[in-house]
Amino acid sequence: MKRGPMMQRKVRLCLLSLCWLVALGAFPVMAGAETLAWVGGTVHPVSSEAIDGATVVVEDGKITAVGRGVAVPAGATVIDTAGKHLYPGFIHPASTLGLVEINSVRGTIDSHEIADVNAALRAEVAFNADSVLLPPAMAGGVLTTHVVPRGGVFAGTSAVMALRGWNWQEMTLTTPVGMHLNYPQLLPSEGEVSEEEEEEEREKALRLINDTLDAAEVYRQARDAVALGAPTIAFDADAEALLPVLDGTLPLFIWATEKSQIEGALDWVAERQLENIVLVTGADAQYVAERLAEEDVPVILAGVLSLPDRRWEPYDSSYVAASRLHAAGVQFCISDSRRGGGAANARNLPFHAAMAAAFGLPRDVALRSVTLSVAEILGVEDRLGSIEVGKDATLMLTNGDPLEILSRVERVWIGGREVDLSADHQRRLYDKYQHRPRPEKAVAKPGAR
């Protein structure tokens, strides 16, 4: 059938608007749409030494070639990176991005559930794909995040999310990544609650943790018995969620910041013979570094940019923690907030790593601690964290070392798709007010001294 002119115009219009939408970045995840080649700049694979004048080829959103003298496939879109630097995107090791919009507005907070045992929760289902906090994070090179639930004792399961996509489902790269346990504080906190009450609460919390896991074990036995013909039992979503933790197939992320809390948690892990744990902690980890190394506990070190916890500690105690962990041989990565709530300024993640570098952590390890080391600890190193063949093309192009505030992230790609960094709320306001007409002449300053 022959198309009429009207039809042709419609097609043309459609194509035009399609181009327009693509140009606007309206199709965030349409991996595989084109073959890309970054040519000419310095590539920093992280997994190996930087390569000057290198080429990176991406097909179907995956890296297919990296190196000097790599042939650019015919028809590839070439991105000239001469004088620029290509890095893997930063991975936030534990944030509430997408779960929290404005901390003071209760209705915008989806990070903390109210019960003690929230094991069945899945963080990704509450992830707001259009959160205004996401674009500034991407503009800072944070292109993926481990999004964590934070409420209660067992907080629920976490997921690794791309910061761009049409909806949470598309943005979810891996789930569940781990179960999150807020280990009880073992030391009394000053304040309105008496030491006895706190002690009681502490014991209660520990009992709760153990009882919950024991109950899950019993649930499993009952469930297995059902398969053998025993009477049906009620489905227990929390217990179901905890079984992989007991099996060691799902990592248990234990949040414990203070030294005795960390030690208590490690003792508890040994007692329960848990095999697969990750410690989310703060600077006190340096006091337990040898043990963490010995017991092969991966660590998410949060809050390099924090005050020392105690008055007597050296002023740089939070700054040096990472280098102490590194020296002791602990597997670690770096996060920003100790409580996982630092969503709005997730973009400052690399500067935590940089401060650790200023205070003794080798620079390449610092860069790794917010890229490949994060991927390894989260179990997504097959897809993220470095520029290697087979990994996602989740990359940033910078004009210098991305751990330097003075450098700038110029362009970013998630899964081989470029993200338009000029379209976010902050950039729009910048453009708008930058172009506000200037006053003709200065008005006399009233009351000027």
Partner 1 sequence: MKNGWCIAMALVCGLTTPGWATTGDPDGWKNTQPEAAENLLIRGATLWTSGPEGRLEATDIWISNGVIRAIGKDLAVPDDAQVIDGEGKHVTPGLIDAHSHSALIGGTNEATNIVTAEVRIGDVVNSESVQIYRQLAGGVTTINLLHGSANSIGGQNAVIKLRWGAGPDGLMFEGAPQGVKFALGENPKQSNWGDDEKRFPQTRQGVEQSIRQSFLAAQDYRRRWQEYEAAVAAAAATKGRRRGAKPASTVVPPRRDLQLEAVVEILDGSRWIHAHSYRADEILMLLRLAETFGIRVASFQHVLEGYKVADELAAHGAGASTFSDWWAFKYEVVDAIPYNGAIMWDRDVLVSFNSDSSELARRLNLEAAKAVRYGGVPQEEALKFVTLNPAKQLGIDRWVGSLEVGKHADLALWNGHPLSTYSLCEKTWVDGRLYFDRQADLISRQALAEERQALMDEVRSLEESDDEAAEGDSEDGADGEPAEEVGTDGPPPQASYLRWQDSHDAYCWSAEDGEAVHAGHQHSSSQHGRRGERR
Nearer to partner 1, 8 or 189 (CB): 189
Q: Which stretch binds partner 1 (CB under 8 A): 227-235, 327-335, 356-364, 377-385?
A: 356-364
Q: How far is the CB of 92 from partner 1 (least distance, A)?
A: 14
Nearer to partner 1, 70 or 205 (CB): 205
Using the rule CB under 8 A, which residue among 189, 210, 221, 249 binds partner 1? 189
Query: For residue 218, what are its two tokens?
Result: 């019993």
376, burial (CB in 10 Å: exposed 0-12, middle 13-18, buried 19+) = middle
| 109 near partner 1, rule: CB under 8 A | yes
Q: How far is the CB of 265 from partner 1 (least distance, A)?
A: 14
Query: For residue 234, what are its two tokens?
Result: 């009620």
Nearer to partner 1, 191 or 231 (CB): 191
| Count of residues touching partner 1 (by CB under 8 A) | 89
The most distant pair of C-alpha atoms in the chain lies apart, rounded to whole Å, by: 90
Nearer to partner 1, 136 or 156 (CB): 136
For β-strands 77-80 and 55-59, DSSP reports them as: unpaired
DSSP conformation class of 232: P
Cβ-based neighbour number of residue 48 at 10 Å: 12
Q: Could you tell me the CA-to-CA distances from 397 to 4, 75, 115, 140, 213 in Å, in that order?
A: 46, 22, 43, 11, 46
Q: How far is the CB of 312 from partner 1 (least distance, A)?
A: 5
Nearer to partner 1, 47 or 407 (CB): 407
| 2 near partner 1, rule: CB under 8 A | no
Using the rule CB under 8 A, which residue among 94, 100, 162, 333 binds partner 1? 100
Q: Determine the Cα angle at 15 with ends 134 and 8, to 5°.
A: 160
N-terminal to C-terminal alpha carbon distance within the chain = 82
Query: For residue 187, what are its two tokens?
Result: 């030391």
Q: How far is the CB of 448 from partner 1 (least distance, A)?
A: 5
Using the rule CB under 8 A, which residue among 240, 309, 410, 420 binds partner 1? 309
| 187 near partner 1, rule: CB under 8 A | yes
CA distance 20 to 34: 16
Site map (CB under 8 A) of partner 1, residues 401-430, x = contact: --xxxxxx----------------xx--xx
Site map (CB under 8 A) of partner 1, residues 7-46, x = contact: ----------------------------------------
Q: How far is the CB of 205 from partner 1 (least distance, A)?
A: 7
For β-strands 62-67 and 55-59, DSSP reports them as: antiparallel
Using the rule CB under 8 A, which residue among 70, 305, 327, 421 binds partner 1? 305
Q: Which stretch binds partner 1 (CB under 8 A): 47-55, 307-315, 378-386, 415-423?
A: 307-315
CA distance 67 to 57: 9
**Residues of span 128-167 touching partner 1 by CB under 8 A:** 132-133, 136, 150-153
Dihedral of CA 301/307/313/316: which sign? positive
| 448 near partner 1, rule: CB under 8 A | yes
DSSP conformation class of 412: E
Q: Would you tell me the crossing angle of helices 317-328 and 349-358 to the nearest 10 degrees?
A: 80
Nearer to partner 1, 185 or 331 (CB): 185
Only one residue has tokens 């009992």, namely: 207
